[in-house]
Amino acid sequence: DAIAALRRIPASDADPALTARVAYNLGNAAYRLGAAAEASKPQEALQRWAEALVAYRRAMGADPDDQDAKLNHELVERKIAELKKKLEEQQQRQDQQQDQRQEEEKKDEQADQRQDGQEQQAGQQDRPQQGEEDRQQQQAEQPQDQDGAGEDERQAEQPTPDSASEQAAGEAIVWITLSGFFWWPRVLLGIEEQLYAFYDQADLLHRICQDQAAYMRRCLDEFCALCVPDFLTLAEDMSYNHGPMISRRQFQEFMAPWYAVVVPLARQRGIPVIVDSDGDVEPLIPWLEEAGVDGILPLERMAGVDAARVRARHPEWVMVGGFDKTVMHRGEAALRREFQRLLPVMRSGRFVPSVDHQTPPEVSLEDYRLYLGLLREYAAAAVA
């Protein structure tokens, strides 16, 4: 073993020339062993070449003018980089081939299942078939289960026993959010198709809302079995910057009948109902009041919604939001002016100032901490 023999030669700092020669030869021997193993044992080759780099660095340390050791060191570095890249590409190809095999196996399994299903269906052809009218009647009597129907649906998460106990101790607020009768059809159909459906597919919209009302009933029953939420929000998002996306007549025809089903269910349990809608919601509020709704959020300031104006027109209305988030990064004076603007509404009660949607990205952590501190200060002043 050439490397073992070279290592037996003493290398002394007192003789740097000898140290350089021994280290250089060790590096060459390790490099050749790595080159011999490259094709069949690439990991061993990488290990040998790493040893070669150590030896060449020792040679250069003993003799800084040793250009051969320097060139060989650079060569081995390139060889290591090339081999690592080659191994990574091989691994990627293997992963792709494995994924392809798994996909083919999955397709084969699905084909087998389809064949089994066809055979079972063929064996059942002599059995009496359920009539279409019977199926439709069963569907009408049993509300559809919408669990997992899409990521956009705002599903109700069941409260945990911990959250229920924290609520009972006054340490937490618990609420439930459900997809409303404008929101959920839009998730299913898309906004354009939904708006056409008010004219072209009225029966479909009513059926969707009927099923959603049944789903809401189940959610409330299961949720309230653990704890009664402090409030219920119905996600609607039915306004834009210049007002509602539907008319009052459409609201009364397509949504109010289902509010008349859900709102009493919440009221029976003492749960206030708050509608969540973006945009200019002020024209909506009378419609919602007539439907028995208690409040609205988030009072989007950028859409021109004014909490003071809403309070003047609707003294008992519950409101959350109304804070102009565009001032949050402008310093304490700007924040105080905004809180001063909202302070009379805060003193009127049934109002929680808050930004609508997310805090703007230009707001720093210190800005947000300042906002929270002032919120506590003005909240205390409002009830003093």
Q: Which CATH architecture has domain 149-383?
A: Alpha-Beta Barrel (3.20)
355, 321 Cβ separation under 8 angstroms: yes
Q: What is the DSSP letter of 252?
A: I
For helices 202-224 and 256-268, the axis angle rounded to 10 degrees is 10
Nearest to 156 by CA among 210, 107, 103, 223: 223
Query: CA of 31: how far to CAs of 21, 35, 77, 96, in Å?
Result: 15, 6, 11, 33
Q: What CA–CA distance (Å, rounded) separates 195 from 205?
A: 10
pLDDT at 26: 86
Beta bridge partners of 320: 352
| pTM passes above 0.85 | no
Each domain of the chain, given as residue ranges in start order, spans 2-91, 149-383
Q: What CA–CA distance (Å, rounded) separates 96 from 102?
A: 10
The mean per-residue pLDDT over the stretch 80-86 comes to: 91
Burial class (CB in 10 A: 0-12, 13-18, 19+), 118: exposed
How far does Cα 344 stand from its chain's mean position? 37
**CATH of 2-91 given 1.10.12, 1.20.58, 1.10.860, 3.30.2000:** 1.20.58
Q: Residue 288: is its pLDDT beyond 70?
A: yes
pLDDT at 73: 92
What is the SS3 assignment for 176-198? EEEECCCHHHHHHHCHHHHHHHH
Most confident segment among 12-21, 54-63, 148-157, 343-352: 343-352
Q: Residue 101: is its pLDDT beyond 90?
A: no
Q: What is the DSSP letter of 145?
A: P
The mean per-residue pLDDT over the stretch 101-117 comes to: 75
For residue range 192-211, list pLDDT tens digits in order: 999 999 999 999 999 999 99
pLDDT at 51: 87
Q: Is the C-alpha dihedral spanning 200, 203, 205, 208 positive or negative? A: negative
Percent of the chain with pLDDT over 70: 84
pLDDT at 131: 45
For helices 67-123 and 16-37, the axis angle rounded to 10 degrees is 20
281, 245 Cβ separation under 8 angstroms: no
How far does Cα 302 stand from its chain's mean position? 25
Burial class (CB in 10 A: 0-12, 13-18, 19+), 73: buried
> How would residue 22 be classed by pLDDT, with cut points 50, 70 and 90?
confident
> How would residue 314 be classed by pLDDT, with cut points 50, 70 and 90?
very high
Residues in the chain: 384
Q: Is the C-alpha dihedral spanning 129, 130, 132, 135 positive or negative? A: negative
From the CB of residue 283, how many other CB atoms can be counted at a distance below 10 Å? 12
263, 293 Cβ separation under 8 angstroms: yes
